[in-house]
Amino acid sequence: MKRKSGFTLIEFLVVIVITSVLVTVSGSSYFGLRSRVAFENQISEIAADLKWTMSRSLAQESNDQWGVRFSNPSGGAGYYEIWHGTSYASGTVVGRTDLHGSVAFSDPVTGATKDIVFLKSTGLPMSSASLVLYSTGSGATGVIDVNSQGRVDYTFD
């Protein structure tokens, strides 16, 4: 009697099923991690832009106060604009940054804006302010705080 070597169809199917499960689990973990990293990078970028805007106001660049307007439109993605002048309405916008596709504002709420204005004389914010963001991909949330002494902090959940 001669013995045949090889795999049976059942063994082959079991290997395919196990491999499929592993690929699915690792793929979803990868995309969740990727979304989380994009979210954390977005918050870090906003905090850096706030500090940069504050330093421009302190340096009295363009002989103006500087500010950042955060917009959460009801019909599209959120964004923020850096401006200088006496107010956003009469000032000059020098840059606009759209939020990453998987990042959205909770505060300001949908359909609203929020301005963080830095005084020309001191570079300090006119008042304390907070922004709340969330990741549509990973469900994470983050908060950016600007206190009255100009400290910019951010936290993630």
Single-letter amino acid code for the residue at 108: P
Per-residue pLDDT reduced to its tens digit, 5-27: 777 888 889 999 998 888 877 76
Count Cβ neighbours within 10 Å for each residue of 121-155 and write b for 16 or more, e otherwise: eebbbeeebebebbbebbebebbbebeeebebebe
pLDDT at 1 over 70: no
Q: What are phi and psi of 58, to 5 degrees?
A: -60, -40
Q: What is the pTM of this model?
A: 0.82
The pLDDT, as a whole number, for residue 86 is: 94
Domains of the chain by range and CATH? 16-156 (3.55.40.10)
Query: Once rounded to an integer, what is the mean pLDDT over residues 69-98?
Result: 96
| 85 close to 91: Cβ distance less than 8 angstroms | yes
User: How far apart are alpha carbons 136 and 119 in whole angstroms?
Assistant: 34
Per-residue pLDDT reduced to its tens digit, 26-48: 766 666 778 888 899 999 999 99
